[in-house]
Amino acid sequence: MNLKILSWNVRGLNDCRKRSIVKNLLREWKCNVIYLQETKLTGLDRQMVGSLWSCPYVDWVALDAVQTAGGVLMMWDRRVLERLEFMVGSFFVSVRWQRVGDGFSWACSGVYGPIDNNARWLMWDELVGIQQYWNVPWCCIGDFNIVRFPSERLGNSRLTPVMELFLEFIEDFNLIDLPLEGGSYTWGKSLFRFENMWLKMDGFIDRVHSWWNRHSFSGTPSFVFAKKLKALKEDIIQWNRLEFGHVGCKKTQLLETLKFLDAKEGEFGLFDAKSCERVLVRAEVENLLSLEEISWRQKLRMLLIKEGDNNTKFFHKKANSRRRFNHLCILEVDGVIYEEESEKTEEWRPFVEGLEFDQIDGSERGWLDRRFENEEILLAVNELVGDKAPGLDDFSMVFFRHCWRVVKRDVLAVFEDFYQHSKFEKSLNATFIALIPKKNDASNIQDFRPISLVGNLYKILSKVLANRLKLVLDKLISESQNSFVRGRQILDSIFIANECVDS
């Protein structure tokens, strides 16, 4: 008798609509064992399990989420498998079954691995204990949050110690890594993006101040700044996962609670305590809706729309439309079509290499080369648009504006070091190159314009220098150039052309 086993990282099941989608798919796939990771659920009961799998003979074992992170659920059909034992570890659930019909005994461990290297040691130790304790045919499924080889992760080029430990674990217990079908890469790591809504949380800036000051590094000011910014990113990621959580999931949970309290009031009325609870829940829902609106506005970057317009549906549609428009499916260069990411990355280079730029020269150079002043650096920070796309540092300019008292000393140190030595840490100068389509369904290389997404420190430095250059730029640029020069505008060309036609 063959068994059909499904392992699926569902990334949250708090939304009843998502549970309905999962339920319909599970009904269609007709599996015997189902393992769901990252459920983000706690206190699972039969009603919740029934909302995921319609099998009336379902049995299950679950590991609760930690606040809004993690959570796993192992379900099976009791008509096919009889549970003999089960164990719940820190990062997995394990079940030993006996197959109904022939009595064949085997075990399965459903894993959702940690991202912290120290916690991985605990996971390995627990899994080894399971295999040695039961000593029956054993199957491991799930998401280990590890890959075996560099080729299995896009952009990886070396074998890390974590990969080597994973390989040893597989070999020591004679496990067989089943081959995948379909695309080489089925998912990608979600990039960190600083969310402006975090700044609305009480005490967040104080947290940033504490995190920033507890990190200490040695080296040049720019090296120290880059390392502290990277360390701060990890602190925020952990805080977001363990404390702040996913706004959409929290909103769904609170709306369910509010719906329950409203129904209870209609039937029996509410005591004072429950009435107070409903008021607090409703206030929290309104707060989350406000945060969600800020998040969508940041994704959309519609700078003319102010927070508070409550155009949530509009935000969603525009943001999704923007993603579809900017997605580069194919790239055509000299009649050759490229589809692989690595090919698209390389083939556009000849079109931008070797470009020449004008250089600053003259008596104004001494004024341009003067020491940086605190006031002009802060002015540049305030003048830069806060919602523009971030570069490799992944922070928005709004972060620097609101947390200026936290990062000020380190930023000023970088500027002073740059003034003295005319260089800074290479990572702060790294950029993303993005191809922006000029029209719908663009594919030819000439249908795109490349832009550089630079880091924030580079933006601030560029803005300071640009503010200085404004005073001499008109001496370097042709009179026919009507953009980027104070006192000139692109409409001037249209007016001149119109006058030429009329004359």
For residue range 239-260, list pLDDT tens digits in order: 777 666 666 666 666 777 777 7
Q: Model-level pTM? A: 0.49
How many Cα neighbours within 13 Å face the side chain of 3? 20
The Cα–Cα gap between 432 and 454 comes to 7
The Cα–Cα gap between 271 and 325 comes to 53
For the stretch 439-489, pLDDT in tens is 777 778 788 888 777 888 888 998 999 888 887 777 677 666 766 666 777
The Cα–Cα gap between 289 and 247 comes to 8
Query: Six-digit token pair at 41?
Result: 């659920």
The Cα–Cα gap between 301 and 317 comes to 13
CB 159 within 8 A of CB 147: no
Q: Which of 290, 260, 227 is nearest to 428 (CA)?
A: 227
DSSP 22-56: HHHHHHHHT-SEEEEE-----S--HHHHHTT---T
Tally: H helices and E strands in the chain: 16, 12
Task: List where CATH 3.60.10.10 sits in the chain.
Answer: 5-145
The Cα–Cα gap between 140 and 223 comes to 42
The Cα–Cα gap between 367 and 364 comes to 5
CB 484 within 8 A of CB 477: yes
Q: Which of 104, 92, 87 is nearest to 7 (CA)?
A: 92
CATH topology of domain 5-145: Deoxyribonuclease I; Chain A (3.60.10)
- Say whether 77 sits in a helix, a strand or coil: strand
The Cα–Cα gap between 94 and 63 comes to 10
Q: What is the DSSP letter of 137?
A: -
What is the pLDDT, as a whole number, of residue 221? 93
> What residue spans of 82-137 are helical by DSSP H?
117-134
CB 79 within 8 A of CB 99: no
Kindly list the distances between the CA atom of residue 279 and the CA atoms of 200, 201, 256, 257, 259, in Å, as whole numbers in the listed order. Answer: 21, 20, 14, 12, 13
Residues of the chain with pLDDT under 70: 1, 68, 153-157, 180-191, 242-253, 264-274, 287-288, 290-328, 341, 344-345, 347-348, 351-352, 355-362, 386-391, 475, 478-480, 482-486
Please state the separation of Cα 490 from the chain's center in Å: 37
Bridge partners, 285 (sequence order): none
Bridge partners, 66 (sequence order): 69
What is the pLDDT, as a whole number, of residue 193? 74
CB neighbour list of residue 67: distance below 8 Å, 6 or more residues apart: 242, 243, 245
81-88 and 92-99 as β-strands: parallel, antiparallel, unpaired?
antiparallel
What is the pLDDT, as a whole number, of residue 148? 83
The Cα–Cα gap between 456 and 233 comes to 14
The Cα–Cα gap between 103 and 439 comes to 64
What is the pLDDT, as a whole number, of residue 310? 47
72-77 and 58-63 as β-strands: parallel, antiparallel, unpaired?
antiparallel
